[in-house]
Amino acid sequence: MPVADFAERMGVSQGTLVRLEKGDPGVAVGAVAMALLALGELRRLGDVLDVSKDDTGLMLDIDSLPQRIRKPKPLVIGGKGPAEGKS
């Protein structure tokens, strides 16, 4: 199908369609939905939006986790440390 015809079926400009094909992150999700609709694949929109299938996002989340978790310091009440308060 020619680009002009596909863009017309989607209701977007040819430039938007070319940007979509190149993976431009600035293309609206509505344009993606219209492309899927024009292709008869609208059911796949759920897969696109499923965060559990976003490998890049999941890797970024893992990278942002702390590398080491420290035990919290003991609570100091009234200026006395834990050892000073014991009799």
Q: Is the dihedral of CA 48, 49, 54, 60 positive or negative?
A: positive
In a domain, 73, yes or no: no
Digit-coded pLDDT (tens) for 48-57: 778 888 888 8
Question: How far apart are alpha carbons 7 and 18 in whole angstroms?
Answer: 9
- Let me know if residue 14 belongs to a domain: yes
**pTM score, two decimals?**
0.56
In this structure, is residue 81 part of a structural domain?
no
The answer, yes or no, to whether residue 31 has pLDDT greater than 60, is yes
Residue 57 located in a structural domain: yes
Q: 45 lies in which domain range?
A: 3-63
Q: 25 in a domain, yes or no?
A: yes
Q: Is residue 71 part of a domain?
A: no
Query: Is residue 78, in this structure, part of any structural domain at all?
Result: no
Number of domains forming the structure of the chain = 1
